Amino acid sequence: MKPIFNYVERSSPVHALTGATKLCCLLLWSFAAMTTYDTRLLAVLAAAGVAVFAASKLRISDISFLLGFVTVFMLLNNLLVFVFSPEHGVGLYGTRHVLFSLGGRWVVTKEQLFYHLNLVLKYLAMLPVVMIFICTTQPSEFAASLNRIGVKYTVAYSVALALRYIPDIQQEYHEISQAQQARGIEMSKKESLFRRLKAASAILIPLILSSVDRIETISNAMELRGFGKHKRRSWYMARPFRPADFVAMGLCALLLAAAIFLNIHNGTRFWNPFI
């Protein structure tokens, strides 16, 4: 089985940043990409993301299977937007330049195409940084980072537990599923929807009930080791901040500030080239 969050061990300036820095940067970056619809800033974010991706010494082959998902999701989302609301861009930008008609209410306008360009740019602005974060942060350092940026350590520990047990549960699901299939359970497209749901329950019930038992075992083990006794805890994977960390966080904060400034300066979240 392929690991889901595939950490790629290489030595690069991005790998050297602490997990907390990368998490902080990812949040600032995603808020910047989320708040703005200014095409210029989105283009800067996308280009900067690609540059950081190159600096982190990752290769396209490291992330190729993820790229497939994102592309399908992005195309589908754009298609749905156009099918449901071909005049959305006209409503947003206030002008209407008709290019050609696809019949019925589906008229292609410059405004609509520009809106779709912004949607695609939003994905491109996020994609590189998410990939960088996944590939350059060790999962065990991730939980320590959450605690570092102010999440309560019990919650950070829950996340650590989730990451730790995903492969185990995946494996167990696989085993139960094969055992049940050997007994004649069918989950493929040949069966009706209702019977597929029932078949899924035959796998899920043993999986989930055994996981509930596991919760008891793990929490007993943690209790015996005195988990939760103190208000704070230390982390094996935590690293101290270095100057490069502050520079990285500062730059990302600037991007968010730029996004907020542009929203106020433009008066709306959209940059309008049509007027």
Partner 1 sequence: MKKRSPIVTVVAIGIGAALFFVLGRFVAIPSPVPNTNIALQYGLLAFMATLFGPLAGMLIALIGHALIDFSYGWGIWWSWVIASGVFGLIFGLMAKGIGINRGLNEGKFNGGDILRFNLSQLLAHLIAWGLVAPGLDVVIYAEPANKVFAQCLVGGISNIVTTAIIGTLLCIAYAATKPKKGSLKEEQ
The H-or-E segment that residue 108 falls in is strand 107-109
Q: Decide if residue 39 touches partner 1 (CB under 8 A).
A: no
Q: Tell which positions 106-125 bind partner 1, by CB under 8 A.
A: 123
Question: At what angle are helices 19-35 and 139-148 packed, to 10 degrees?
Answer: 70
Of 21 and 37, nearer to partner 1 (C-beta) is 37
Number of residues that bind partner 1 (CB under 8 A): 71
Residue linked to tokens 């520990």? 157
Q: Are 42 and 122 in contact (CB under 8 A)?
A: yes
Neighbours of 33 (CB within 10 A): 25
Q: Tell which positions 123-152 bind partner 1, by CB under 8 A.
A: 123, 126-127, 129-131, 134
Contact pick of 211, 263, 266, 272 for partner 1 (by CB under 8 A): 211
Contact pick of 43, 81, 237, 260 for partner 1 (by CB under 8 A): 81
Q: Decide if residue 74 touches partner 1 (CB under 8 A).
A: yes
Q: Decide if residue 93 touches partner 1 (CB under 8 A).
A: no
* Per-residue x/- track, 40-69, partner 1 (CB under 8 A): -----------------------x--xx-x
Q: Decide if residue 186 touches partner 1 (CB under 8 A).
A: no
Query: Residues with Cβ < 8 Å from 60, sequence gap 6 or more?
Result: 67
Nearest to 25 by CA among 133, 128, 134: 133
The H-or-E segment that residue 189 falls in is none
Length of the chain: 275
CA–CA separation, 118 vs 43, rounded Å?
Answer: 9
Of 190 and 243, nearer to partner 1 (C-beta) is 190
Contact pick of 207, 237, 238, 251 for partner 1 (by CB under 8 A): 207
Q: Tell which positions 153-172 bind partner 1, by CB under 8 A.
A: 154-155, 157-166, 168-170
Of 72 and 99, nearer to partner 1 (C-beta) is 72
Name the minimum Å distance from CB 158 to partner 1. Answer: 4
CA–CA separation, 133 vs 269, rounded Å?
Answer: 27
